[in-house]
Amino acid sequence: MYSHLLTGHSIIRWLVLIFILYTIYRASTGFVKNRSFSRTDNAFRHWTATIAHIQLMVGIVLYTQSPIVTYFWSDTGVGLQNSELTFYGIVHLLLMLTAIVFLTIGSALAKRKPTDKEKFKTMLVWFSIALVIIFIAIPWPFSPLSVRTYLRPF
């Protein structure tokens, strides 16, 4: 089960990135071109946050079952000396939680803004901050914190 969840978490990462990038694109063009905030814009706002929350739930289950995290917490003295153990034990979790908080706040605030321009601006700012945090927290193959493949095999 753990390996399947890990593969799913790897796949869902790409959905989160695609949705957040497209939503940021829609927000920036809507803001710059003074478009009206359409049902499609609202749907992408909603689904971006929803997919990110699904990813968070899968990640939390993985965190509680991970042998890497278990080892980190069993001996934090050794764990803190190893950058990869520290990354999965603390850094990845805290950064991703922070990114989800930014996405959630941005989504909720955008929904409640009175004007279309304010909705687009709110989404653009909050979702962009979340995207930067997510990019830092993902274990890319080129990351100095932890190296993983672009897509985990089944």
Q: Can you tell me the distance from the alpha carbon of 70 to that of 21, in angstroms, rounded to the nearest whole number?
A: 33
The string of pLDDT tens digits covering residues 96-151 is 999 999 999 999 999 999 999 999 999 999 999 999 999 999 888 887 777 776 66
Q: Per-residue confidence at 16, pLDDT binned at 50, 70, 90?
A: very high
DSSP conformational letter for 31:
H
Q: Which domain holds residue 12?
A: 2-137
Q: Is residue 143 part of a domain?
A: no
CB 62 within 8 A of CB 12: no
Q: Which of 116, 149, 135, 109 is nearest to 20 (CA)?
A: 135
Residue 39 lies in a domain: yes
pLDDT of residue 109: 98
Query: How confident is the model over 44-83, as pLDDT tens digits?
Result: 999 999 999 999 999 999 999 999 999 999 999 988 998 8
Q: What would the two tokens of residue 91 be?
A: 């850094």
Give the C-alpha separation, 5 to 25, whole Å.
30
Give the number of domains in the chain: 1
Question: Residue 153 falls within a domain, yes or no?
Answer: no
For residue 77, being part of any structural domain is answered with yes
In a domain, 84, yes or no: yes
What count of residues does the chain have? 154
Would 104 be classed as within a structural domain?
yes
Pair 88, 68: CB distance under 8 Å:
yes
